[in-house]
Amino acid sequence: MFNLTYYAQKDNKDVKKENRITTNATDNNVIINIKKEDNREIITLKAINDIVIHQAEISLDIKFSQTSKFFLNGYQSWTDTKESYITEPEKLARRAKRFFKAAKNNDIYGKSKDVLINKFAFDRYGDVLLYDYDKNKLHGYDIFYIKGDKEFFSFNNNYKNAYLIYEVFRKEKKIRLVSDVRKYVIKAGEEFTVFDYSFYDSYELGLKAFYEAFPEKENNKVLGYTSWYNYYQNINESIILRDLDALDERFNLFQIDDGYETFVGDWLDIDPNKFPNGFKEIVDKIHSKGYKAGIWLAPFVAEEKSKLFNEHKEYFKKDKVGNYIKCGGNWSGFYALDIDNKEAMDYVKKCLEYYMELGFDFFKLDFLYAISLPRYYDKTKAMATEMAYKLIRDTLKDKLILGCGALPFASSSYFDFLRIGPDVSLKFDDVWFMRMAHRERISTKITLQNTIYRSIFNRHLFLNDPDVFLLRDDNIELSKKQKEALLVINALFGNVLMTSDNIKNYDDESKELLSYAFELSKNAKDIKYVREGIYIRLSYNINGKVINTRYNTEKGVLEDGR
């Protein structure tokens, strides 16, 4: 059953009365066209008069039980994602609801009454200001399946127009689909597709159709180094050159991460104290070793202390009451550029071109969710994201792009690689107080979970980046067994295998484990997983030998086999 709720619009103002129509009904403002063919449904609206969509939803009659497992894809690439049982509430659902209520009375993007939210902007990393959280619902984006007595598999074909939200009602045991088009204006005479999704009553058939819709990509393996997970922003020329010298011929990428710029947003200002000779000689040395040279940027944001934010505030998006769109609490707090501001987008292109001219081959582009956070009334979040990601690809041409903190389905058309989980933490589940922050928080525990469950995306939407492995003994609190699990799972399920270690310091045991991981990355086949409570059963074939092991998601270790 399809339901549409909208406001009529007159003289660019909403008429406050809500209009509700269902299924094939037509009224004086809009015509609904519903087309069903085999395993696909497409719903198109044609506006007779200007309308503003408030809600567009479909209720599905799908049976499931207490033992069913639901795959609910998180909003952005850092958001926790797994197969869930109906008895498991969404992480931080109550806190997310409080975030939303605290902001609602001020302006959805304005100041809230919650001190922690104002200081750290925990409500900006995910979808808590964009989606109505409820402890009795589970929800995910653009792809969904049910495993158990009854199976179901569905995915969104309309992701360039609108993201598709799948909702599971825990008490009522029902499924609802919501098109992410709230506040979108359809002008008189225009047509707009609100739903276009595929659906199957079999997991295997649905997965096969998903893979046919997103054909397999070239199996490009990245085996590399990134400076972030050891030094964070405390990098300099001597550290970079020392760790570059430590890599051997098995690696093919050396990437410089955050910390080289004076402030986030001021990408043309390389810190002269840290890198007195700039980057040209470093890039040449990376190339001389046979590696691609990688660089990190967050192209659509700038921090509060940056020259860009202080000298060009006109580049930044404001909400309807005049507040700049804050995107999080990192650095000195950071804000979103305006996709509709030509000068702002020209600056983004200029910065990307600058690093291309320096010879960089690989671009890790971070905090990309920020461009989707502002409300654009002439475009959905999906449309704004499409514009931004296309600008990146058009500018960088054939360079390799790794998206991070990005919207997954939108990334599929433009990025070679996507980070598919949050940052690895140096302590298995990070410090205790961060567990109450937001669903996109730093956590090795969560990123390993995402690495396994989002493996269905790999080589179809993009090539999966499961984040780094870390085998060093200093500056880390992961146990030896946790480090081993991190390395093995990353090697099995991703196309990117990177570290931030100086591998010259590895002992013989670490060197042997690293060699095993490289072998897994290249030659492991028939990789399978099954959730069993807190465990995930893993099996794979390496050089004709079948390995069966069990990953303990609470302890972060492989409990048998290797």
Q: Which two tokens stand for residue 525?
A: 């086949």
What pLDDT, on the 0 to 100 scale, is given for residue 560?
77
Q: Thinking of the domain 222-302+343-521, which architecture would CATH place it in? A: Alpha-Beta Barrel (3.20)
Output the DSSP codes for 217-250: PP---EEEEESHHHHTT---HHHHHHHHHH--TT
Residue 79 main-chain phi, psi, to 5 deg:
-70, 135
CA within 13 Å, CB half, 157: 16
Task: Provide the Cα torsion 223, 294, 122, 379; round to 10°.
Answer: -110
Among all chains, which residue has been given the structure tokens 């430590």? Answer: 246
Which residue, among 109, 106, 148, 150, has the nearest Cα to 128 in the 3D structure? Answer: 109
Q: Using alpha carbons, list the distances in angstroms from residue 139 to 127, 260, 542.
A: 11, 38, 36
The whole-model pTM stands at 0.95
Residue 439 main-chain phi, psi, to 5 deg:
-75, -10
pLDDT, one tens digit per residue, over 61-98 is 998 988 999 999 999 999 999 999 999 989 877 777 66
Say how far apart CA 387 and CA 366 lie, in whole Å: 16
- The amino acid that residue 347 corresponds to is Y
- The amino acid that residue 141 corresponds to is Y
Q: Which two tokens stand for residue 37?
A: 């063919």
Q: Using alpha carbons, list the distances in angstroms from residue 351 to 17, 170, 226.
A: 47, 47, 21
Residue 30 main-chain phi, psi, to 5 deg:
-150, 145
Domain boundaries, the chain: 2-90+135-213, 222-302+343-521
CB 439 within 8 A of CB 450: no
DSSP annotation of 151 reads: -
Say how far apart CA 301 and CA 307 lie, in whole Å: 12
Helix (H) or strand (E) holding 26: none
Output the DSSP codes for 314-369: GGB-B-TTS-B-EEESSTT-EEEB-TT-HHHHHHHHHHHHHHHHTT--EEEE--GG
Which residue, among 555, 558, 560, 551, has the nearest Cα to 529 in the 3D structure? Answer: 551
CB 260 within 8 A of CB 235: yes
CA within 13 Å, CB half, 559: 11
* pLDDT tens per residue across all 562 residues of the chain: 899 998 887 766 655 555 666 655 678 899 999 999 999 999 999 999 999 999 999 999 998 988 999 999 999 999 999 999 999 989 877 777 666 665 554 444 555 556 667 778 888 999 998 899 999 999 999 999 999 989 999 999 999 999 999 999 999 999 999 999 998 999 999 999 999 999 999 999 999 999 999 999 999 999 999 999 999 999 999 999 999 999 999 999 999 999 999 999 999 999 999 999 999 999 999 999 999 999 999 999 999 999 999 999 999 999 888 999 999 999 999 999 999 999 999 999 999 999 999 999 999 999 999 999 998 889 999 999 999 999 999 999 999 999 999 999 999 999 999 999 999 999 999 988 888 889 999 999 999 999 999 999 999 999 999 999 999 999 999 999 999 999 999 999 999 999 999 999 999 999 999 999 999 999 999 999 999 999 999 999 999 999 999 999 999 999 975 5
